[in-house]
Amino acid sequence: MRFIPLLMALGLLGLTALLWPKAQGDVGMLAWVNMGLMLGLSLLLIQYGIRLLRNRAEPRPGSRLRAKLVIVMIALLLVPAMTIQMAASQMVDRGMDVWFDVRVDTLLDRALKLAQGFYERVEQNMKRNLLDYISDATLAAAVSGHMDYRSINAYLGDISRTEGWQRVELFDTNERLISSVQMGELGALQARPLNNTARVSMHLGRVVTELESHDGREVAVGYAPLIGGATSVLGLLRVETQLPAGVIQNARAVEADYRNYRQLEHNRQKISATFTHVMLFMTLVVVLLTGLVALLFARRLTAPIGDLANALRRVTEGDLDVVISESPRDELGSLGRSFNKMSLRLKQNVEAIEQAQRDLTRALDNTRQRQYVLESLLANLHTGVVLVDGQGRVRLLNQAVRDILHLPEDWKPSANILQVSHGNLRDIGAFYDELSHQQEELLQREFDIALPEGKTLHVLARGARLSASGAEFSGYLLVIDDISELAEAERNKAWAEVARRLAHEIKNPLTPIKLSAERLQRRFRSQVDNTEVFDVCTKAIIDQVDRLLRLITDFSTLARMPQPKLREVPVKTLLQDMHELFHSYARVSVAITPDDDVACRCDPDQIRQVLINLMDNAVAATGKNETCAVRLYASIAETAVEWHVEDDGEGIQPDAAPKLFEAYYSTKVNGSGLGLAIARRIAEDHGGELTLLSAANPTHFCLKLPRSAPAKEKT
């Protein structure tokens, strides 16, 4: 129903295009009035159809019924009106067919073809005769100047008498008249100049004919080019023959009669079109008046229905105080009175339900408060809490679990914790499986979880079985804590204790051993037979003692790392110090790019220690290969300064990269494994971080320090 006005508009537009006048004078002003009425009616239908489509979701109450009534009434009128229109048009067309008999049209066409055939026969005979003189040797000799004027005229006269031509003229290629004869008259001393048709004939070398009028006479003119031996044009022969006067007059009369007949036939179409537009105008006027009356009648009929529908919509939206008019004394008025009674009773029922709802709300206030407190506690708790029912389905998962296990924000709990697809939750599922299959109510375990970033998370998981007689819920409560930092602190404390005891036990005997070896070297070197073996043995003792002393120093440094003495240090100064230390290596490059005013708040001695350790490792990784470069440069951010150390050495094995910063882990044969651990400790004491950005191609370390004091130093 919504598309019917648009379809009617398309039909009217198609009819308008079909009946559109081809010219202003064909049908007069009435046709344009009809076109205007049809276009206006089409625009009204399009506007009404678009409004129906826009309001299809929530149409105006009563609009659909009103549209149906108007469309049905107009359709009932259009069917007989269009039938009468078509019948009247057929009657007029049949009358016109009787007035203009087809036999007259046929006779006029035949007469016109007969006159045109006479012209064609004359031209064909002239062309056929002229073709005989194209290669005439006598005419060629006359054009070339090998004949006298009298002989030429005599020969042209013979041609004129033989062919029955009234005039024969001979021209050379310069369009100059050589000779001319005319039957019954003297030849003209001055011939007419050649026209474009004659020039085309000479240029193309073809026979051409045309019809001309001279002094009220119709003559046929022919042009024949004279072809020489080498197929070149030597001149032009022009001939004329007069057409019979009676035949010409009759042909002209036939043409005039034919034009008059066609004009009458054109008027026939105009009469038919005028009748069609008159009938169409009357139909359009009746349709417009009928549509207006139908619209007024439908609006008066559907207004109460629209009021009722609008009132129902307001009731569904919650307005129970709506009242509609009961003025009509018919079925519509009775419907309005019934609606008012229904709305009053519905209002009373809603008020009773609201009162019961308020009582229920007061009864549930305490339960909601307890639930709100519990939800706020779980949301702000740093300990992860997972609630699982008896079937293993996850019922509750707070934000702390996502933060501890590095779960994505869009991750949704699965149906069963034993069937989770996320790797970080598999160990939690194994812990739940152990808890659900044991007899005890409580379970506590410590285990490591491997994160996707290559890090290891050490967690403490505690579980309890929730079950009680008469309880509606039974399941398991899992509490998860991240104790990675606590475990790391305990390990560091244990290593520090080991370092202190080891340094105390080993350092005392090392100095006498070193002094004794040096004394033996000075005292008995001249008395031994093989000095080379003596030197090697004593030097080995001294070198190994020095190595043990360095190892004890590193142990002591790790055990009691001094607090950094922070101050503003220019970044450029630290880079220049590194340049002075390593400029002797050709493969080492230090980029000193920051400005003098760029500074970093740090302990310069400790930062130099970190940079020297990184540079020493890079130089050692490149070995003696001068093609492997070592690069040190700094980048300045708004809140931090980054030192980058890169080398093109062999790189770090993938399995060794996660363990580089662990204490006592080293990839070198003689390494203590404390250098990078101490360097990371220094970076963390400064509020920064030391990370491995790339393990190979190139090997890339980054030391990142804040430009302002760390939080613990500010407090």
Q: What is the pLDDT of residues 551-562, one digit of tens each?
A: 676 666 655 566
- Per-residue pLDDT tens over the stretch 584-634: 888 899 988 777 678 888 988 889 889 988 998 898 888 877 788 999 999
Model confidence at 712: pLDDT above 50? no
Identify the burial level of 42 via C-beta atoms within 10 angstroms of its C-beta, where 0-12 means exposed, 13-18 middle and 19 or more buried.
Answer: buried
How would DSSP label each residue in 459-512?
EEEEEEEE--TT-S--EEEEEEEE-HHHHHHHHHHHHHHHHHHHHHHHHHHHHH
Q: 242-273: per-residue pLDDT in tens?
A: 877 666 666 667 767 767 766 666 666 666 66
Which amino acid appears at position 279 of this protein? M
Q: 387 falls in which pLDDT band (50, 70, 90)?
A: confident
**Model pLDDT, residue 713:** 46
Query: Does the pLDDT of residue 579 top 80, yes or no?
Result: yes
According to CATH, the superfamily of the domain at 567-714 is: Histidine kinase-like ATPase, C-terminal domain (3.30.565.10)
Q: 381-482 belongs to which CATH class?
A: alpha beta
More confident residue, 103 or 55: 55
- Give the pLDDT of residue 614: 92
Instruction: Report the pLDDT averaged over residues 369-389.
Output: 73
Question: 131 or 426: which carries more pLDDT confidence?
Answer: 131
Residues, the chain: 715
Q: Report how far apart the first and last C-alpha atoms of the chain are (Å, whole number).
A: 78
pLDDT of the residue at 631: 93
- Measured CA to CA in angstroms, residue 443 lies from 398, 403, 446 at distances of 20, 23, 11
Distance CA 539, CA 554 (A): 23
Lowest mean pLDDT among 53-57, 539-543, 576-580, 662-666: 53-57
pLDDT digits 0-9 by tens, 296-305: 776 666 667 7
pTM comes to 0.34
pLDDT for residue 234 = 84
Q: Where are the domains of the chain?
A: 4-99+265-311, 123-243, 381-482, 489-559, 567-714
715 — pLDDT class (breaks 50, 70, 90): very low
> Is the pLDDT reported for residue 714 higher than 50?
no
Share of the chain above pLDDT 70, in %: 71
pLDDT digits (tens, 9 = 90+) for 458-504: 888 888 888 755 455 678 888 888 887 777 777 767 766 676 666 65
Residues 628 and 625: their CA atoms lie apart, in Å, by 6
Q: pLDDT grade, residue 115 (50/70/90)?
A: low
Quick check: 646 pLDDT over 90? Answer: yes
The whole-number pLDDT of residue 701 equals 94
| Of residues 408 and 711, more confidently modeled | 408
**Spatial contact of 112 and 255, defined as CB atoms under 8 Å apart:** yes
Please, what is the average pLDDT of the chain?
76
Q: Which residue has the higher pLDDT, 321 or 607?
A: 607
**Residue 420's pLDDT band (cuts 50, 70, 90):** low
Query: How do 630-636 and 588-590 pair as beta strands?
Result: parallel
CA–CA distances in Å: residue 362 to residues 355, 372, 402 = 11, 16, 36
Other C-beta atoms lying within 10 Å of the C-beta of residue 519: 11
- CA 122, distance to chain mean position in Å, is 74
Mean pLDDT of the 352-379 span: 73
pLDDT at 327: 64
Q: Residue 529 has what pLDDT?
A: 76
Give the range among 143-152, 482-491, 654-663 with minimum mean pLDDT.
Answer: 482-491
Residue 136 has pLDDT above 80, yes or no: yes
Fold equal for 123-243 and 381-482? yes
d(CA 121, CA 113): 12
* Superfamily of segment(s) 123-243: PAS domain (3.30.450.20)
Q: Which residues contact 382 (CB under 8 A, 6 or more apart)?
A: 400
Tell me the pLDDT tens digit for each residue of 8-48: 777 777 777 776 766 545 456 767 777 777 787 778 777 77
